[in-house]
């Protein structure tokens, strides 16, 4: 649990650092990610179905890395994402897709992912892949995770970064919000990048 707190603190510091915006000559917000090599297209899976980030071009995509057996950060963050989605009007919601990327493919089957994500909101899609596929996406987005042995009833835990990534309609990473952001801030960021 101590390492999970340290991981969360690290993700928060990174999120605050990356969450700062710069203003260009036209006074339009510019994401700091545009100067870095974070983000990009990927392919993961929902059961037998391939899911590519590019499948959602034209939509703002919210991405969260986690796992369904997570005891605290994941359920809390999924509740926050759900609350943010519920505050959008129908037109806004049609232009947003939330993705939950499981970093625990050993336990997170397509059925587990569907049950978990749909519990929070019907429009959240759970996806995962092989360890190699997940590692590639985690690296692309500057995230992190590691399996940790535990005496808990569920067996091992997975420490993971805690941030919500926002990818715009053109597939460019625009924002990374720490998971402890209030719902209003997440809604504001969604509307900013829509």
**Cβ(167)–Cβ(141) under 8 Å?**
no
User: So what's the pLDDT on residue 37?
Assistant: 79
First to last CA, the chain: 36
Tell me what pLDDT residue 36 has.
Answer: 59
Q: Which pLDDT score, from 0 to 100, does residue 150 have? A: 83
Q: According to DSSP H, which parts of the chain are helical?
A: 2-18, 73-86, 90-94, 110-120, 131-140, 183-193
DSSP one-letter string for 125-151:
EEEB--HHHHHHHHHHTT--EEEE---
CB contact at 8 A, 190 and 177: no
Q: For residue 101, which of 152, 3, 149, 167 has the smallest C-alpha distance?
A: 167
Burial profile 21-35: b = 16 or more Cβ within 10 angstroms, e = fewer: eeeeeeeeeebbbee
> Could you say which residues of the chain have pLDDT below 70?
1-36
Can you tell me the distance from the alpha carbon of 165 to that of 138, in angstroms, rounded to the nearest whole number? 11
What does the pLDDT read at residue 154? Answer: 80
Whole-model pTM? 0.81
Say what the pLDDT of residue 155 is. Answer: 85
């Amino acid at each position: 649990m101590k390492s999970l707190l340290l991981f969360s603190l690290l993700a928060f510091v990174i999120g605050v650092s990356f969450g700062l915006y710069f203003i260009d000559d036209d006074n339009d917000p510019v994401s700091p990610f545009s100067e870095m090599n974070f983000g990009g297209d990927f392919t993961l899976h929902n059961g037998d179905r391939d899911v590519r980030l590019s499948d959602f071009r034209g939509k703002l995509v919210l991405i969260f890395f986690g796992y369904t057996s997570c005891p605290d950060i994941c359920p809390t963050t999924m509740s926050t994402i759900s609350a943010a989605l519920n505050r959008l009007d129908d037109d806004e919601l049609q232009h947003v897709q939330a993705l939950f990327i499981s970093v625990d493919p050993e336990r997170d089957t397509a059925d587990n992912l569907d049950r978990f994500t749909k519990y929070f909101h019907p429009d959240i899609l759970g996806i995962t892949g092989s360890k190699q596929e997940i590692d590639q996406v985690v690296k692309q987005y500057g995230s992190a995770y590691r399996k940790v042995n535990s005496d808990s009833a569920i067996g091992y835990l997975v420490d993971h970064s805690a941030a919500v990534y926002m990818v715009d309609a053109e597939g460019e990473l625009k924002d990374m919000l720490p998971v402890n952001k209030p719902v209003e801030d997440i809604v504001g960021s969604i509307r900013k990048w829509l």
